[in-house]
Amino acid sequence: MSKPETRVRIAPSPTGDPHVGTAYQALYNYAFARTRGGKFILRIEDTDQARSSPESERAILSSLRWLGLEWDEGPDIGGPHGPYRQSERTAIYREHAARLLESGHAYRCYCTKEELEQMRIEQREKKLPALFDEVCRNRSLDESSRRAEAGDAYVIRMKVPRDGVCVIKDLLHGEIRKDWASIDDQIIIKSDGFPTYHLANVVDDHLMGITHVIRGEEWINSVPKHLKLYEDLGWEAPVFCHLPLLRNADKNKSKLSKRKNPTSIEYYRRAGFLPQALLNFLGMLGWSMPGDEEKFTLDQMLEHFRLEDINLGGPVFDVKKLRWLNGRYIREDHDAPALREELFKWALGPEMVEKIIPLAQPRLETLADWGFLTAFFFADAVPCQAEELKLKGHDAGEVAEVFQFAIWQLERQRDFRSEAIELLFKELAEALELKVRVLLGPFYVALSGKAASTPLYQSMEILGSDMVRMRLRRAIELLGGLSSKKLKALEKRYEDLFGGTR
């Protein structure tokens, strides 16, 4: 009997910028599949209706493709196990949830958020580990169905064993034991009818024939739930393998986060990093090429890659070393024509220059003025004096807060055309009770390094969302940064001013 084909997947959630952590997981999944002659599948986990967006999905696909990680099946190219977008598979999940309901492995829960909150507080006081609602859990299916028909809102929860130990087998970690009592009756279908990650993930992995689940360590604690779901559905579970999480370069090496490090692949692209270099760099975090050479191509990596060789310590994403590696690619792998081509692809091409010309022209007295006027479009960090980041009547800390508001606004701004940005700043000015022209002052400095520059909104459009936010974040740091305490208060104020969740 031949072994079944190896099938792995990367399953990003399109809720924001394409994250380097996603690329990291993708690389190792890809390498594992390729070294075993298997398939690498891309699946979009967009079951969070509120946060998912098509723009984010597009950005993720384009970023992964830019890196050279081609998938064999995915939402854009299809495949034999489609659709590959979870929002298009809701009927499948509902059907499986119904099966679990009927077999008694799941139940409808009619508790409100407030009731659960109250229950949680009491349980914490009593030092009970997990959250269970006995009433809902023990209600008969008949009665629960009657209430559902009467129109009562509910979610569906899985029934998790109350005692015993769950043994997780992990390819890298070996056996991990976890008490069932520490695991709660996870919601598998939300009140909007959409599944949560846990259900959708298990159903899809099974239906798509996934043999190995290679993903971030953050998932280890929920493996028991997944194992139970496989069992209840009568399926064989795939092999699990949890990889370390990328870390910030801060004191504690916390999980890589955009507050402390650029995390968007788009940022690295815009900042002039080459895809080969970024991929190579990710490949040397956690894994190392035999021998002394640290520069290697994807193909070279494939020749030596073994999943078992991955180092379990969470690696710090050290941009300094990435810069060094990138420099080697520029110097060693490009002759002048090739480098010219890279530069054109990056920002010196006609497309970019044509966008800048109308902004620059009114401000040019000589052609040579072009250089200093437009330099900031072709840069990563911009030289910027803290003293220049001034806002009339506000101190440095307050300017930093304004920048932070703008970052949050821009984060949820999917349409990054200048008109949309203009609207956004008008809103911001109004909320802060400032004149727009006054508000904009420090933004010119943060983004271009100078108080006088090309028009802000259009310049921002050209710089792109990721670069703009990065420069604003740098400006905040320059102003002394925002403490997490301050940030928390700020967040609250932001919600009061602009409403909604970020």
Partner RNA sequence: GGCCCCAUAGUCUAGCGGUCAGGACGUCGGCCUCUCACGCCGAAAUCCCGGGUUCAAUUCCCGGUGGGGUCACCA
Interaction site with RNA (CB under 7 A): 11-13, 15, 45, 47-48, 51, 111-113, 116, 120, 129-131, 153, 155, 173-174, 176-179, 182, 184, 187, 190-192, 194, 196-197, 201, 217-222, 245, 247, 249, 252-255, 284-288, 292, 294, 309, 311-316, 318, 320-321, 324, 327-328, 331
Q: How far is CA 160 from CA 33, 106, 182, 183, 480, in A?
A: 33, 9, 10, 7, 48
| Helix or strand (DSSP H, E) at 242 | strand 239-243
CA angle 308, 22, 180 (to 5 degrees): 65
Of the pair 282, 468, the CB lying nearest RNA is at 282
Distance of closest approach, residue 248 Cβ to RNA, in angstroms: 9
Residue 444 φ/ψ, nearest 5 degrees: -60, -45
Of the pair 493, 502, the CB lying nearest RNA is at 502
Q: Which of 225, 258, 260, 295 is catalytic?
A: 258
Of the pair 252, 366, the CB lying nearest RNA is at 252
Distance of closest approach, residue 308 Cβ to RNA, in angstroms: 9
CA dist., res. 179 & res. 168, Å (int): 11
CA dist., res. 384 & res. 403, Å (int): 15
CA dist., res. 189 & res. 282, Å (int): 35
Structure tokens at 208: 């798509």
Write the single-letter amino acid at 426: K
- On the CB side of 80, how many CA atoms lie within 13 Å of its CA? 7
Distance of closest approach, residue 13 Cβ to RNA, in angstroms: 3
Of the pair 188, 462, the CB lying nearest RNA is at 188
- Identify whether 127 is a catalytic site residue: no
Distance of closest approach, residue 134 Cβ to RNA, in angstroms: 16
Of the pair 120, 435, the CB lying nearest RNA is at 120
Distance of closest approach, residue 23 Cβ to RNA, in angstroms: 15
Distance of closest approach, residue 288 Cβ to RNA, in angstroms: 3
Of the pair 218, 341, the CB lying nearest RNA is at 218
Residue ranges in 261-417 assigned as alpha helix (H): 265-270, 275-283, 298-304, 319-332, 336-343, 350-360, 370-374, 396-411
Burial call 419-451: b when 16+ CB within 10 Å, e when fewer: eebbebbeebbeebebeeeebbbbbbbbbbbbe
The residues annotated as belonging to the active site are 258
